[in-house]
Amino acid sequence: MKVNTNLTAIFTKYKGLWVALDETLKKVISSDKNVDKVYKKALKKGYQKPTLFKVPQKNLPYFGFVK
């Protein structure tokens, strides 16, 4: 299975949102600000083990992680 490692489009389209991705990381199954909704929607669509990811609000050079 080839896994998508270029998430540029997801970083651009889903800024600040949680996304659930399929096994290949190519398909966004669901997205929302609320990760619980994202997870439940993915389960409802039949994805038992989605990949959850919080897309950064801004794709800045990264040095640390706290607010």
Partner 1 sequence: MKYAFKYVQAGLWYRPIVRVTLKFNKIEFNYLALIDSGADFNIFHADIAKILKIDLSKLKNPVNFSGIKGGGIGYFTSIDLGVEGNFVNTPVVFSNDISDNGYGILGQQGFFNNYKIDFDYRLRRIELTSNKK
The closest alpha carbon to 52, from 20, 24, 30, 16, belongs to 20
Beta bridge partners of 62: none
Number of residues that bind partner 1 (CB under 8 A): 33
- Minimal distance in Å, beta carbon 49 to partner 1? 6
| Residue numbers 22-61 binding partner 1 by CB under 8 A | 25, 34-36, 39, 49-54, 56-61
Count the alpha carbons within 13 Å of 49 in the hemisphere toward its beta carbon. 2
Point out which residues bind partner 1 (CB under 8 A): 3, 5-8, 11-12, 16, 18, 21, 25, 34-36, 39, 49-54, 56-67
